Amino acid sequence: MSDNIPALAAGFIREQSRKGLLSTENNVINRFEQDAGNGLSLSELSENKEYGDLQRISGEKADYWYSTSCMTSSYAEIAVLLEEKDLLSLIVNTVRRESSLYPRPTAIEIFEYSPYFMKKEEIETMMSIIENDTRYSDIEKCATSIDKFYLFSTKFLPKAQAEYLSEWDAVGQYENQ
């Protein structure tokens, strides 16, 4: 393996991470190993202190690598689902995470924008799955006075609180600056 391959590989992963993209091992190997023989292992590489920022994250379809100095673990979780086009998990996980962590309800429309960029029809399809599958029975929808809709998880956020916070997000915050 050529001397500078590890540095180049790490640099590539970091650059991708900065753009919000993950790298698979194959992806990296194909890029840098063609004329350098074999032997590039990202696992080994990440043991090296110099490349300690390289981190593996597992998806349903593959393992991915990112740099913790350019991408946070919370974003990496989103990036995996974006990479695997798992729109259902993107919505469900985001809603549960926001309801439990901040806590707050999640405006459905955010999935149309960065970094999700789902089409309206895709969101509608996912919504009908969520509404009809008991595995997602904790996910509920609430409306605001301007007909903007939000999702929240009843496991973490009482309905009344979700309703208040939705109205605040949609209307209240702009009238109270």
- Residue with token string 């926001």: 98
Pairing relation of β-strands 106-107 and 139-143?
unpaired
Cβ distance to another protein smaller for residue 121 or 160: 160
Cβ distance to another protein smaller for residue 59 or 172: 172
> What span, in angstroms and rounded, lies between the C-alpha atoms of 101 and 39?
41
H or E stretch covering 54? strand 54-58
> What span, in angstroms and rounded, lies between the C-alpha atoms of 38 and 23?
18
The binding site for another protein (CB under 8 A) comprises: 17-20, 70-75, 78-79, 101-104, 107, 110, 113-115, 146, 158-165, 168-169, 172-177
Cβ distance to another protein smaller for residue 36 or 168: 168
**Closest CB 159 distance from another protein, rounded Å:** 7
Answer whether 145's CB lies under 8 Å from 153's CB.
Answer: no
**Closest CB 10 distance from another protein, rounded Å:** 16
Cβ distance to another protein smaller for residue 47 or 117: 117
